Amino acid sequence: MKDKTTLKKLLFNHNNDYGFDVICILSRQPNDISSLSVIIPYFESESVFRLTLHHLYNSLNNVLDLYKNWKFEVIVVDDGSKKFPAEKQIKSSDYPNLKIITNQKNKGRTSTRNVGLLNSRYDLCLFMDSDVLIDVQIILNHLKIHSYCRQTKKAKAITVSFFQFGNAKEPQLKFNRLTPADLKLNDYRLYCKYGPTWIGCEQDKKFIGKEFRIVHDTNDFKGWHGMYKAWALTNMVLGGFFVVDRKDSMKMNGFNESFKGYGFTETSLPTKLIATSGHYLIPVLVGGGLHIEDGKVNVTRKDKDKIFWQKHDFYFNKYLGLTPENAIQDKV
């Protein structure tokens, strides 16, 4: 008889107690760190992308200052831009170890991330958005946690960062270097009052107006079991900045390309890594990034809510119902 275990059962039974204090690990300097492939989906990002690369290389060079033989690459995947193609916004020769891959047609973010994953070659993959300005320490902080998990815990992790969500008028856009102290994090995972437009299903309506400190309430995700209020553990992976194990991600067949457009585009790969391979989801509690929200998106709040409901239903009621085998084979 075939195994009828579903992703949902495995995910909700996952013990995310990774067993250490994140701040303590970030205070240490490991002897060795993993090599890194940075994968950036790009689509018509204009001038803010140059700032993204500027701060990215500040953070990469901070690692190189400490580990002279460290290896990294930056892969920009242009998802069919016509007005502002990446190749005209930047010159790859201006940035060490950077290459640009261009999709001839727009394929969507999940497909674009998979293109980057398939073309990557190093131990860890960092997926980040093209409109995120990161602090100078954040890449090293992610690498410290992965190093500790691999060498001491004999385990693997998905590490996530937090954001200051802002717009093109934020004063930090003029900073040459960003430090953790420069960021005013307003990430919902740190603190939120549940909004009326956040609901993904009828059951979520009971949370409207209530305050949550998700990271604090779940002991930095270590105490997460099943659902926490309106959220599954995988909802804590936002697309703007997270790091995964490359080889295991390849074994999982990357991101499921049934997730297109707005909502849940990053959840499929972390779901497979956690549910089938027991990867820990770990928050990087120091620093983060300034996420510049696109003011040009011509989608009404009503339309976004409708799309979110549809994606919420697809993820929780269809995708999580897959067996691990079907999920890895992307049979939805």
Give the whole-angstrom CA distance, residue 14 versus residue 10.
Answer: 6
- In this model, does residue 298 exceed pLDDT 60? no
Break the chain into its structural domains and give their ranges.
Answer: 22-326
- In this model, does residue 282 exceed pLDDT 50? yes
- In this model, does residue 3 exceed pLDDT 60? no
CATH fold for domain 22-326: Spore Coat Polysaccharide Biosynthesis Protein SpsA; Chain A (3.90.550)
- Both ends of the chain: CA-CA distance in Å? 21
Residue 260 confidence (pLDDT):
83
- Edge-to-edge, what's the strand order for the sheet holding 289-292? 132-134, 289-292, 163-166
- In this model, does residue 233 exceed pLDDT 80? yes
Q: Which residue has the tokens 């993993």?
A: 34
Question: For 16-28, what is each residue's pLDDT tens digit?
Answer: 999 999 999 999 9
Helices 48-66, 138-148: inter-axial angle, 10-degree rounding: 50
What is the pTM assigned to this prediction? 0.95
pLDDT tier, 1 (very low <50, low <70, confident <90, very high otherwise): very low
Query: Higher-confidence residue: 294 or 142?
Result: 142
Residue 4 confidence (pLDDT):
73
What does the block give as tokens for 285?
A: 């509690």
